[in-house]
Structure 1
Amino acid sequence: MINLLPFSRYSFLAAWLLFFSCETKKKELPILGRPTITTQVIENQTVIDTISHKIADFSLLNQDSLQITNSSLAGKIYVADFFFTSCPTICPVMKKQLLRVYERYLEDDRIMIVSHSIDPTYDNVNVLSDYSDALGVISDKWHFLTGDQDEIYQLGEKSYMVTAGADEDAPGGYIHSGAFLLVDTNRQIRGVYDGTMKEQVDQLIIDIDILLDEEFGKK
């Protein structure tokens, strides 16, 4: 009779090692957006390269009248959204959910939140300062941004790829996405979440932790 026990033991060990390696492999988030395809000729050879989509340069003011640019967020992971303070629809729900993210990572200086007003004419620095105070948040952690309207709209539609603009038929006169966007230290979008849904924001928090591990390793 052939004894199959040694083979079974080895098979079990191999299967266990395969399972363990799959379980311990780090999960990585996708890089989202519209990549740019570039073509150049180097030494008579055509070289095609793919450049990942990145958030464009910007310069806006936060609730403390401080100029915020890409450099202000260098080396940070951040969550971005678009809103306006007089929004009568989804903005209050979004901010309630975003407060969960703020409170979760309040002591972690690797994480920032950036909210862009799509009504910069009304949402000046003073209005945003009052809004920030009412939420009980600090600008070192959560920037509320205002500035040139066209720049903000371009940033929303071209960089973050979300709806952001004036619409006289929309409640409050503006239309915008309810999305939260997770951005890595390379200015790349790594996740998009419905900011009006608790379950989606739960997933955002899970993905922030994944991205923290990817970018910085275990703290």
Structure 2
Amino acid sequence: MLQTVFFRNSFIFLLCVLSCKKQEESQVPYYNTPDFTPYFLSKGEASEKITHKISHFSFKDQDYKTISDKNINGKIHIASFIFTSCGSICPIMVRNLGLVNQKYSSDPDVVLLSFSVTPWIDTSPKLKAFKESHKIKNPNWHFLTGSKGEIYNLARKSYFAEEDLGFTRDSTEFLHTEHIILADRNKKIRGIYNGTLQTDIEQLIRDIAILKKE
């Protein structure tokens, strides 16, 4: 009798563990609009209901290498918007993103893209010096420069970097945001995080791990 109860309880426990694990693996929502309303969907449902994805782009990185949306095909990527002369939130964001870098620096399927919001100042050599000054050796962390209009449009219309506020702003208004965006292998937005908060970055790392299993 006791043995039967033991096996029954063990079976129930196993079902609970599997159920919790399945629930945990589906906790990274999809986002389709700049108000960041979360949609918890299966991949099949998302392919039909989530129409927004990161659009085409092409910029130069710190090594003069052209980095476009083709470079993130089939990869998870993290987007941030910084500038090298920033003395407020940017150093904190870069330092916190270093935690992501430590975890995934040797993983070619995880790409970090840091777009300069002062590209008329942040040339490739300046971005290279910035990357080196922060002792970042990850070849999959690109610091990007190019047309201001194209970067700002991509940030606001594609990444929803400033949420509703940014989506309606004039493209000439200065872009300065602490938001970091996570996109999956299909270039669909899966998370927004405050880059100045280590707790948010820790959540970002957990969410990347879940996306890698999808």
After TM superposition, the score normalised by the length of structure 1 is 0.78
Letter in structure 1 aligned against 2:77:
Y
Aligned-CA RMSD value: 2.4
Q: Max radius of gyration: which structure? A: 1
Structure 2 residue 148 is matched with structure 1 residue 149:
yes
**1:20 alignment partner in structure 2:** 17
Letter in structure 1 aligned against 2:13:
W
Q: Which runs of 4+ in 1 moved over 2 A?
A: 4-18, 49-52, 163-167
- Does the CA-based 8 Å contact 1:84-1:118 persist in structure 2? yes
Distance in 2, Cα, partners of 1:88 & 1:21: 47
Distance in 2, Cα, partners of 1:149 & 1:89: 21
Letter in structure 1 aligned against 2:66:
Q
After the TM superposition, which residues 54-203 of structure 1 pair with which residues of structure 2 at under 5 Å, given as runs?
54-138=53-137, 140-163=139-162, 167=173, 174-203=174-203
In the alignment of these two chains, the number of paired residues is 192
Structure 1: unaligned runs, 5 residues or longer: 36-48, 168-173, 215-219
Q: CA deviation at 1:50?
A: 3.7
- Does the CA-based 8 Å contact 1:162-1:176 persist in structure 2? no
SS of the residue corresponding to residue 30 of structure 2 reads coil
Distance in 1, Cα, partners of 2:71 & 2:131: 19
Q: What per-residue deviation string (whole Å, max 9, x for no partner) do you get for residues 58-87 of structure 1?
A: 011100111111111122111110011111
Structure 2: unaligned runs, 5 residues or longer: 35-47
Q: What per-residue deviation string (whole Å, max 9, x for no partner) do you get for residues 78-118 of structure 1?
A: 11100111112100000000111112111111111100001
Q: CA deviation at 1:17?
A: 4.8
Q: What per-residue deviation string (whole Å, max 9, x for no partner) do you get for residues 154-206 of structure 1?
A: 00000110137765xxxxxx441101111111001111111101111111111
Letter in structure 1 aligned against 2:179:
A
- Does the CA-based 8 Å contact 1:63-1:139 persist in structure 2? no
Distance in 1, Cα, partners of 2:10 & 2:125: 65
Higher helix share: 2
Higher strand share: 1
- Does the CA-based 8 Å contact 2:152-2:175 persist in structure 1? no
**1:38 alignment partner in structure 2:** none
- Does the CA-based 8 Å contact 2:32-2:50 persist in structure 1? no
**1:211 alignment partner in structure 2:** 211
> Aligned residues: percent identity?
35
Cα pair distance change 1:13/1:149, threshold 3 Å: same
Letter in structure 1 aligned against 2:111:
M
